[in-house]
Amino acid sequence: MIWNKEAECMSSEEKKEIQLNRLKEIVKRAYENVPYYKKRFDEMNLKPEDIQKLEDIEKLPFTTKTDLREAYPFGMFAVADEEIIEVHTSSGTTGKPTVSGYTQKDIDIWSEVMARALSMAGAGKKDKIQNCYGYGLFTGGLGVHYGTQKVGATVIPISAGNTNRQIEIIQDFNTNIITCTPSYALYLAEVLEKQGVDIDKLGLKAGVFGAEMWTEEMRNEIEKRLGIDALNIYGLTEIIGPGVAQECMQKNGLHIFEDHFYPEIIDPKTQETLGEGEKGELVLTTLTREGMPIIRFRTKDITALRREVCDCGRTLVRMDRITGRTDDMMKIRGVIVFPSQIERALLKIEGMEPQYQIIVTRPEYLDELEVQVEASPALFSDEVKHVEEVKRMIEKQIHSEIGLRVNVTLVEPESLPRSEGKAIRVIDKRNFE
Amino acid sequence: MKLKQISIFLENKKGRLKKAINVLSQADINIRALSIADTSEFGILRLIVPQPEEAQKVLEENHFVVKVNEVIAVEVPDKPGGLDGILGVLHDSDTNVEYIYAFVEKNSDNAVVVIRTEDIDEGIKVLEAGNIHVLTSEEVNLL
């Protein structure tokens, strides 16, 4: 189901023309209304008129999370207070949160892109969408909420948490689409199994999962255990919230709604723009936001862009699933390791529960990586040597994925913390002081 | 005759053994024999109980990883050389013992030895050929 054929299937020339016009406009608006951008442009001797073609975007300065934090709370707003009708913030786990301000038009854009996203998951007017993203300052809850209403489906605004209630509602309301983090989706599957619920009797057909990184193996696991199509959604508060990009049923990358958000991939070290298919940091520019235009925001998310037309008919560029973040990238004994690599290795093992925790320590001068996984009947035996073989097999599997020796510890089932929001996968105990 | 044994995964953490035993006690399950294999990181608690299925159920409900598998139980005289005789039979036939544990009977002069060989059927065949009485689960639980 394509929500907006005109926008999602336009020709490349048409798209570029729209993007260029919008880019010129937003750069002008940012320069004239946001003191931060005026200052940055002036320092670089740049004028909005310097943007004559799309590639000229590379002349523009980057905006980082730190820049936004320094403008806390409302320093990046480009309109008068009376125009702002809603605010959201990032989680603020790494310091002061960043604030995003929305005008009515911004909320309309958000509803539109979320309607496109939910349509990709097959949402129609008759569907009931159980929205288990948290409502509040976090953008997940209201983003899905607005999109559902735009589509004309029924939103069940249950918010995050209270798993027994979630399961009761899934059954009683005959929920068709569920939206939450992928780790919570797995947790729901686990509890459903424990309660002996027959998933074939549920109305669930698809899930829109995001707000944290996940792997293809995890998708297979969720699809198998919940009997649904599990699709990936991407977004961030600084840009708008969820709805920057979404996977279609081809499950072959996320379509970026590039008539509203202009993507680039850069080398995080040299900051040079990279070509199609090259892996690097995603940089986004809002093309239509009124309340808070953002130019070249460094997302810290690592992905690559693909331009060949998708089998679904959409011409929108696709980004690979996020494989890491420049900041949750771990450097272990000098080797770059992403938690997603470890997850991929674990999920290749039959009977492995997708619950794990990575603990990084530095007992002397060398980093040690411990991966805790939950024992399961499939991994366990009455003989010590078999359990130790399993442990070594897991260690080998991870070793071949990341190129480093790790120590795997089997822990008892359900002893690793379950999360109702973003799962905490890495505990770094190294002391760098 | 094969005997059912339950094995429980224990993390090397305070209170885990006690918790497992407490779960069985709450379910009114008597432990006939017990052994623990311990490594620096985890332990395997192995038990012979009259109701292995029931024990597995209550332990799993309490989030333990449990495996039920089969072992061999034999009766030996509770005197010097009792065990040696059995091991001799196994040794002579090149049968490898994975682990072994024993308990003494209250009402007789015998001890019961629980043996895990790599191949249980093979182990039973060898022992019986050596004229050693392999116990049935009924016999063990009646002791």
Q: Name chain B contacts of A375, Cβ cutoff 8 Å.
A: 9, 42, 65
Domain range for A25? 1-325
Model confidence at A94, pLDDT cuts 50, 70, 90, reads low
Q: Is B67 on the interface with A (CB under 8 A)?
A: yes
What domain count does chain A have?
2
The residue from A296, A325, A354 where one domain ends is A325
CB contact under 8 A, B44 and A412: no
Q: Which of A195, A372, A382, A395 to mutate to test the interface with B (most CBs of B within 10 A)?
A: A382
In a domain, A335, yes or no: yes
Q: Is B42 on the interface with A (CB under 8 A)?
A: yes
Question: Which member of B42, B46, B116 has the closest CB to residue A387?
Answer: B42
Same domain, residue pair A15 and A32: yes
pLDDT at A422: 62
What average pLDDT does this structure show over A317-343?
A: 84
Question: Which member of A376, A382, A415 has the closest CB to residue B44?
Answer: A382
CB contact under 8 A, A388 and B39: yes
Residue that the structure tokens 């520019």 belong to: A285
CB pairs under 8 A between A and B: 53
CB contact under 8 A, B42 and A413: no
Q: Is A383 on the interface with B (CB under 8 A)?
A: yes
Same domain, residue pair A295 and A347: no
Same domain, residue pair A370 and A233: no
Identity of the amino acid at A117: A
> Does residue A322 contact residue A218 with C-beta atoms inside 8 Å?
no
Model confidence at A92, pLDDT cuts 50, 70, 90, reads low
Q: How far is the alpha carbon of A430 from chain B, nearest alpha carbon, in Å?
A: 22
Same domain, residue pair A259 and A380: no
Q: What is the mean pLDDT of chain B?
A: 90
Nearest to A394 by CA among A374, A364, A412: A374
The residue from A325, A348, A364 where one domain ends is A325
> Does residue A98 contact residue A65 with C-beta atoms inside 8 Å?
yes
Model confidence at A56, pLDDT cuts 50, 70, 90, reads very high
Choice between A362 and A118, residue whose per-residue pLDDT is larger = A118
CB contact under 8 A, A380 and B7: yes
CB contact under 8 A, B65 and A375: yes
Question: Which member of B44, B63, B67 has the closest CB to residue A412?
Answer: B63
Q: Is A411 on the interface with B (CB under 8 A)?
A: yes
The complex's ipTM works out to 0.87
Same domain, residue pair A241 and A349: no
Choice between A296 and A361, residue whose per-residue pLDDT is larger = A296
Say whether pLDDT at A90 is over 90: no
CA distance A275 to A139: 31
The residue from A309, A325, A341 where one domain ends is A325
In a domain, A254, yes or no: yes
Q: How far is the alpha carbon of A404 from chain B, nearest alpha carbon, in Å?
A: 21
Q: Is B41 on the interface with A (CB under 8 A)?
A: yes
Residue A154 three-state SS: strand
Q: Is A384 on the interface with B (CB under 8 A)?
A: yes
Domains B2-69 and B70-142 share a fold: yes
CB contact under 8 A, A383 and B116: yes
Say whether pLDDT at A364 is over 80: no
Q: Is B36 on the interface with A (CB under 8 A)?
A: no
Same domain, residue pair A304 and A345: no
The number of beta carbons lying within 10 Å of the beta carbon of residue A215 is 21
Q: Name chain B contacts of A383, Cβ cutoff 8 Å.
A: 44, 98-99, 116
Q: Considering the domain B2-69, what is its CATH architecture?
A: 2-Layer Sandwich (3.30)
Q: How far is the alpha carbon of B84 from chain A, nearest alpha carbon, in Å?
A: 23
pLDDT at A425: 83
In a domain, A433, yes or no: no
CB contact under 8 A, A377 and B7: no
CB contact under 8 A, A410 and B9: yes
Nearest CA in chain B to A376: B65
Q: How far is the alpha carbon of A293 from chain B, nearest alpha carbon, in Å?
A: 51
User: For strand B66-77 and strand B42-48, is the pairing parallel, antiparallel, or unpaired?
Assistant: unpaired
Say whether pLDDT at A378 is over 70: yes
Domain B70-142's class? alpha beta
Same domain, residue pair A268 and A393: no
What average pLDDT does this structure show over A47-67?
A: 95
Model confidence at A213, pLDDT cuts 50, 70, 90, reads confident
Residue A233's beta-bridge partner residues?
A: A246
CATH of residue A9: 3.40.50.12780
Residue B72 three-state SS: strand
Same domain, residue pair A301 and A378: no
Q: Is A387 on the interface with B (CB under 8 A)?
A: yes
CB contact under 8 A, A383 and B98: yes
Using 70 as the pLDDT threshold, list the residues of chain B that sit under it.
1, 107, 142-143
Residue A211's beta-bridge partner residues?
A: none
For the stretch A120-136, what's the b/e string if a residue is b when 16 or more beta carbons lie within 10 angstroms of its beta carbon?
Answer: bbbbeeebbbbbbbbee
Model confidence pLDDT, tens digit, residues A153-197: 999 999 998 999 999 999 999 999 999 999 899 999 999 999 999
pLDDT at A251: 97
Model confidence at A350, pLDDT cuts 50, 70, 90, reads confident
Nearest CA in chain B to A375: B65
Q: Name chain A contacts of B7, Cβ cutoff 8 Å.
A: 380-382
pLDDT at A355: 83
In a domain, A337, yes or no: yes
Q: Name chain B contacts of A357, Cβ cutoff 8 Å.
A: none
Nearest to B71 by CA among B27, B132, B113, B131: B113
Same domain, residue pair A94 and A125: yes
CATH of residue A354: 3.30.300.30
Model confidence pLDDT, tens digit, residues A262-314: 999 999 888 999 999 999 999 999 999 999 999 999 999 999 999 999 999 99
What average pLDDT does this structure show over A44-49?
A: 96
Residue that the structure tokens 């686990």 belong to: A190
Tell me the C-alpha to C-alpha distance, in Å, between residue A354 and each of A107, A119, A245, A256, A358.
Answer: 36, 29, 25, 28, 13
Residue A244 three-state SS: strand
Say whether pLDDT at A148 is over 60: yes
pLDDT at A115: 98
Q: Is B34 on the interface with A (CB under 8 A)?
A: no
Model confidence at A420, pLDDT cuts 50, 70, 90, reads low
Q: Name chain A contacts of B64, Cβ cutoff 8 Å.
A: 412-413
